[in-house]
Amino acid sequence: MTNQVSRGQEIPLRLELRGITKRFGDLVANDHIDITVEPGEVHALLGENGAGKSTLMNQLYGLLQPDEGEIVVNGEAKVFRSPRDAIAAGIGMVHQHFMLVPVFTVAENIALGAEEIRGGPLGILDRRRNRRDVLETSKKYGLPVDPDALIEDLPVGAQQRVEIVKALTRDVDLLILDEPTAVLTPQETDELLSVMRSLAETGKSIVFITHKLREVKAIADRITVIRRGRTVAPSDHPAATLDRNRTSFSPDTPEDELAALMVGRQVSLEVSKTPAEPGREVLKISGLVVDDDRGIRAVDGVDLSVRAGEVLGIAGVQGNGQTELVEAIVGLRAARSGSLELDGESLAGMGTKKILRSGVGYIPEDRSLDGVVKEFSVAENLVLDMYDRPPFGNAFKLNPKAINESAAERVTQFDIRTSSPASTVSTLSGGNQQKVVVAREMSRPLRLMIASQPTRGVDVGSIEFIHSQIIHERDNGTAVLVVSSELDEVVGLADRIAVMYRGKILAIVSPDMPREEIGLLMAGITGAEAAAEPEPEEETE
């Protein structure tokens, strides 16, 4: 038995998708899609949530069968009945939601599924060989992974490397990455982009699915935009794929133009707002110290104040205490010391429910955990924290009519794309789920609004809307605190920016400060240090 699925190493893979059509009932998720992927290129598949990108790639990876159309690899039409067939033809995929087993090691996860390819359960020899394969692949492509680490102990960025190494140990020539940066920090994203570039340089093709324009412009050789199941092109462009090497698309192509193609209308990527008119101090944080789940100091003596009618943005790489800071404000996490005051009244020991009911709106960073109840309907989610109060009900019963009327109104007002307010939230796209949270939180009188990663995983059209709603809330006189690891988002929304690093506020700066300087602060480098001579590395021979 041979230990590798070998397909003649030197043949580069040229892929053609011809007229691929996929229906789910009445919905046409892919409508006659033609795409060509050349060897050694990074081909970006750009489209909003629900456009049909994953569906298309799942057919290429053998997870779904096309209703019509052909998959052609190096001139030969192929039928992929399972990922095993796709892998055998040289095609690998890293999914949007990782498919790793948390309690297994890296090497075990990479071996999973390989037994199928190798024709039997892994024996001891196979295990040893597998561990060696992992290390070799890791070294060959500059993707550091520890074969013996448990998946559950790894940060998201490292888990993703494991998925990529897993695909590469299968010796694939075309790698599909489905929204790989959605969960990454800016640094992790940059690392991944350079890994993609170097993989392409070795002759592999990369299909990079994303809705982030900045990334596409940074890395893509060619772009295909998909909207509502179809490829779309600018009116003056003959083909649906935009080519960096031709004049039609260059790194200078305005992002607005690509966004308009994706969304099907002009979208404004800039947040439009007038100067803030800050009023009274609404939130006052003094000397706040908060520990994380492991008892490690996450917020280390923070003083901040947010005024009525202003947006205070907190910039920082994820994991620098922002999450714990927000959780402490809304009473989800106890403070070790320091004080939190809302309009002069202490929030200590108040409890989350009471804090939210006293006029604090909260858009949590993980809507699937704290934001929505996926099994409930859109209408139910819209009254999640008000169902026992008039007009929606009282302590004894609900008033379905009032709930439904209010829901229908807000579905329209907040442009929530759902077939009906009675649909369960789990059927909505990520962006629309987030609009449900925003609609709920902004439909009651607020003194303070806390928005944590308000547009994470949200498509361009919805981002524009959510941003305008946040500014609207500010202009109504609410004090707004926005926390985001997307620097562009903080800069766009904030009137003042607090940069958080290792639990401390390093500086409070204006959103007009150059992006690079804010970036340095996010990396913990303050002005004085940046100006000074770099400290010599200590040599320990």
Ligand X SMILES: Nc1ncnc2c1ncn2[C@@H]1O[C@H](COP(=O)(O)OP(=O)(O)O)[C@@H](O)[C@H]1O
**Binding-site ranges for Mg ion (CB under 5 A):** 54
Distance CA 274, CA 3 (A): 64
Q: Measured from the CB atom, is 46 or 306 closer to ligand X?
A: 46
Q: Concatenate the DSSP letters of all residues of 325-372 into one string.
A: HHHHHTTSS--SEEEEEETTEE-TT--HHHHHHTTEEEE-S-IIIII-
Which segment (49-57, 214-222, 269-277, 350-358) binds ligand X by CB under 6 A? 49-57
Please count the other Cβ atoms lying within 10 Å of the Cβ belonging to residue 117.
14
Contact 13, 205 (CB under 8 A): yes
Stretch that binds ligand X, among 22-30, 270-278, 343-351, 515-523 (CB under 6 A): 22-30
Q: Is 374 within 8 Å of 434 (Cβ atoms)?
A: no
Q: Residues in contact with ligand X, total (CB under 6 A)?
A: 11
For the bound state, the minimum distance from the C-beta of residue 24 to ligand X, rounded and expressed in Å, comes to 3
**Residue 456 is a binding residue for ligand X (CB under 6 A):** no
Cis peptide before 12 (omega within 30 of 0): no
Positions in 52-91 near ligand X (CB under 6 A): 52-55
CB nearer ligand X, residue 60 or residue 306: 60
Q: Scanning residues 493 to 522, which ones bind ligand X (CB under 6 A)?
A: none
- Identity of the residue, 58 or 478, whose beta carbon is nearer to ligand X in the bound complex: 58
CB of 52 to ligand X, least distance (A): 4
How many CB atoms are closer than 10 A to CB 170? 23
Q: Is 381 in the site for ligand X (CB under 6 A)?
A: no
Q: Which residue is nearest to Mg ion (CB)?
A: 54
Q: Does 49 bind ligand X (CB under 6 A)?
A: yes
165 touches 94 (CB < 8 A)? no
Q: Are 381 and 434 in contact (CB under 8 A)?
A: no
Beta carbon of residue 234, minimum distance to Mg ion (angstroms, whole number): 24
What is the residue type of 334? A
Interface with ligand X (CB under 6 A), residue from 13, 33, 46, 51 = 51
**Residue 439 touches which member of ligand X, Mg ion, none, C-beta under 5-8 Å by kind:** none
Tell me the residue type at 123. G
Three-state secondary structure call for residue 97: coil
Separation between Cα atoms, residue 361 and residue 355, nearest integer Å: 9
User: Residue 523 and residue 519: Cα distance in Å, rounded?
Assistant: 6
Q: Please give the DSSP secondary-structure letter assigned to residue 241.
A: E
In the complex, the smallest distance separating the C-beta of residue 191 from ligand X, rounded to whole angstroms, is 24
Which of 41, 43, 50, 442 contacts ligand X by CB under 6 A?
Answer: 50
Which one, 260 or 398, has the nearer CB to ligand X? 260
Which of Mg ion, ligand X, none binds 364 (CB below 5-8 Å, type-dependent)? none
Q: Rounded to whole angstroms, how far apart are CA atoms 107 and 127?
A: 8
Q: Considering CB distances under 5 to 8 angstroms, the limit depending on partner class, which of ligand X, Mg ion, none binds residue 251?
A: none
Residue 51: which of Mg ion, ligand X, none does it interact with, CB under 5 to 8 A by kind? ligand X
Annotate 128-177 with DSSP letters as a single string. Answer: HHHHHHHHHHHHHTT----TTSBGGGS-HHHHHHHHHHHHHHTT-SEEEE
- We find the least distance from the C-beta atom of residue 266 to Mg ion, in angstroms, to be 24
Q: Taking CB within 5 to 8 Å according to partner kind, which of ligand X, Mg ion, none is near residue 50? A: ligand X
> Which residues, in sequence order, are CB contacts of 75 under 8 Å at separation 6+?
14
Q: Report if residue 46 touches ligand X, rule: CB under 6 A.
A: no
Please report how close the Cβ of residue 262 comes to ligand X at its closest, in angstroms.
10
Residue 307 has which token pair? Answer: 């005024």
Relative to beta strand 68-73, strand 15-24 is antiparallel
Residues 6+ apart with CB under 8 A from 27: none
Which one of ligand X, Mg ion, none interacts with residue 24, CB within 5 to 8 A by kind? ligand X
461 contact choice in Mg ion, ligand X, none (CB below 5 to 8 Å, kind-dependent): none
Cα 229–chain centre separation: 21
- For the segment 151-210, give every residue that binds ligand X (CB under 6 A): none
Among the listed residues 17, 33, 47, 436, the single contact to ligand X using CB under 6 A: 47
Which residues bind to ligand X, rule: CB under 6 A? 24, 27, 29, 47, 49-55
